[in-house]
Structure 1
Amino acid sequence: MRKILVTGANGQLGSELSVLSVFYPEFEWIFADRTKIALDDLELLKDQLNEIKPDIIFNCGAYTAVDKAETERELAFTINHLAVELIAKYTFKNSVKLIHISTDYVFDGSSSSALNEEAETNPINVYGESKLAGEIACLRENPDSIIIRTSWVYSKFGNNFVKTMQRLMQERDTINVVNDQIGSPTYAADLAQAMVDIVRSSNWIPGIYNYSNEGEISWYEFALSIKELRGYNCNVSGISSSSYPTPAKRPEFSLLDKKKIKEIYNVSVPDYKESLEKMFV
């Protein structure tokens, strides 16, 4: 029985993989939170990997506090770069399959058409820089690994935009949401299923893949969809990013092109609204 190690077990993606795991008893699943896999302690991480001896690693753990990363650069790079480098070395040396999760924040947002896997990277914040460094290290140390870039992840677990909007729309009469950042959300349950489909497939084609739900929307339009599907009465207004300054800059356009993952792995990529509805059921 092949052993799958999932890092970041308590995160959105790790939690959705945990829900999914009961349907795939052909794998032995190990869900590792910070106590089992220390991505911020490289010496300990090395020992933990040698102890667990996985056959497959889903590296979902990451430093994801985008604004905080601006002042916690060293910690962000330790988790998103150096730990990934170590995991990639381990997986290459021990012939372990690795799927590493990355982000649309490796792009600068200057494109006006959907970004494919070959598009030029140019992160505009520390989080994006650390994730790009992790991608580069991952492919350098283990050319047989798979990297999946995703965007705007949400689920019924953890903290995310959908949950924040639900809370605010019930608490307030009016809210403002930025309308000039364009991309597509990702329901973590859909991405989790895609990852399982990849490891169950007879294909293993290494490299970078994009995965998010279908659709090209702004955060404002995403908020309107949440309002509509939940039947909230709150008034939602669109504002520019300049009216809502944050410590870290965000890409204005980071829509991902999903052709490659659909063609090679034939995975399902539902429309964003369909998946949002599914989460609310």
Structure 2
Amino acid sequence: MPVRLTVLVPGGSGQLGRDLAALASPSVDVVAPGSAGLDVTLTGQVLASVGALADRARETGSAPVVINAAAYTAVDAAETDEERAFAVNADGPRVLAAACAARRVPLIHVSTDYVFPGDAFRPYEPSDELGPRSAYGRTKAAGEDAVLGSGASSWVVRTSWLYGKSGANFVKTIARLESSREMLSVVDDQVGGPTWTFDLASGLMDLASRVAAGDGPARRVLHCTNTGSVTWCGFARAIFTHLGADPARVKPCTTAEFPRPAARPAYSVLSPASWCEAGLTPLRPWDEALAAYFAAE
């Protein structure tokens, strides 16, 4: 019989947090506060929230799990605001993990492809050496270390190129620009794995159920993305196609032609092998997920 879950989702107002909250059911109780209700940089709020989760689970006879979706994700802004990014992406997870360890609550922490240097020629495995090249990547790598070294029953799940129905993301930006520009130039020398937050949320909840049942994977770092890879230009052309627009209106350009404050990984595809080897259901290919995203509108 499936274990009843009570799940706390810090970062509940973000695009991933909203999709996690939408998975609430009679057997899954989800509490997903935004930063106004749970600011992970405030120790008192973190301790109170994890304590309330543990108490609520005990009272309802369910298993508590925290899925941390809170993050500072303004990649370029982090270059000049690394202190704030570190507070949210590293200090927050450290306090959250300590609170989970104290109350014996399992923690699933969401991380990013930006912890890698981006110079690989094959999909990254969880065991590959880290080498972040941006402030955002450094703070997320520090958050991983804090969680894994906390003593909590914890798992780090890296993902990439997220887009969802809420919040700002690449899909929404391209859709907006399609209606306002005749031609678009999009970088074609950065390769990654687009991931729909709906699919990621389902995968994370699958993992949470396993963890709650005492059957959490032995490997503590996993990669979870929609499968396959594409360049940003290829991704934009696919979005145009789903919008009924001519993908030839999207022209390729180089990263050098579009300089940004933060360095972007040239190649940051994450291998799904660790997820599959853990017995978890692999996410569908990225192009199928994109089609489903537009079909759901």
| TM-score class normalised by the smaller sequence | over 0.9
Q: What is the CA-CA distance between 1:29 and the residue it aligns to?
A: 1.4
| 1:112 matched to 2:127 | no
Alpha carbons 1:6, 1:29 under 8 Å: kept: yes
Q: How do 1:227-238 and structure 2 match up within 5 A?
A: 227-233=240-246, 235-238=249-252
Please tell me whether residue 205 in structure 1 is matched to residue 208 in structure 2: no
Identity across matched positions, percent: 33
Greater mean alpha carbon deviation, residues 115-124 or residues 192-201: 192-201
Shift of 1:142: 3.0
Partner letter of residue 236 of structure 2? Answer: A
Write the distance in 2 (CA, Å) between the matches of 1:182 and 1:238.
Answer: 13
Aligned mates of 2:44, 2:23 — CA distance in 1 = 31
Query: What 5-or-longer segments of structure 2 have no aligned partner?
Result: 58-63
RMSD: 1.4
| Cα distance between partner residues in 1 of 2:40 and 2:260 | 26
Matched, 1:268 2:282: yes
Segments of 4+ moved more than 4 angstroms: none
Could you say which residue in structure 1 is the equivalent of 2:61? none
Give the drift of 1:108: 0.8
Shift of 1:13: 0.6
Partner of 1:37: 38
Answering whether residue 200 of structure 2 is matched by residue 191 of structure 1, we say: yes
CA offsets, 1:123-147, max 9 Å, x none? 0000000000000010000352011
Whole-angstrom CA distance in 2 between matches of 1:43 and 1:7: 14
Task: State how many pairs are aligned.
Answer: 279
Which one of the candidate residues 132, 138, 143 is aligned to 1:123? Answer: 132
- Counterpart of 2:9? 6
CA–CA separation in structure 2 for the residues paired with 1:113 and 1:179: 17
What is the TM-score of this pair, normalised by structure 1? Answer: 0.95
TM-score, normalised to structure 2's length?
0.90
Residues 143 and 39 (structure 1), Cα distance of their counterparts in 2 relative to 1, 3 Å cut = closer
Instruction: Summarize the alignment of residues 1-281 of structure 1 with structure 2, pairs less than 5 Å apart.
Output: 2-21=5-24, 24-53=25-54, 55-142=64-151, 144-201=153-210, 202=213, 203-206=215-218, 207-233=220-246, 235-281=249-295
Per-residue deviation at 1:148? 0.4
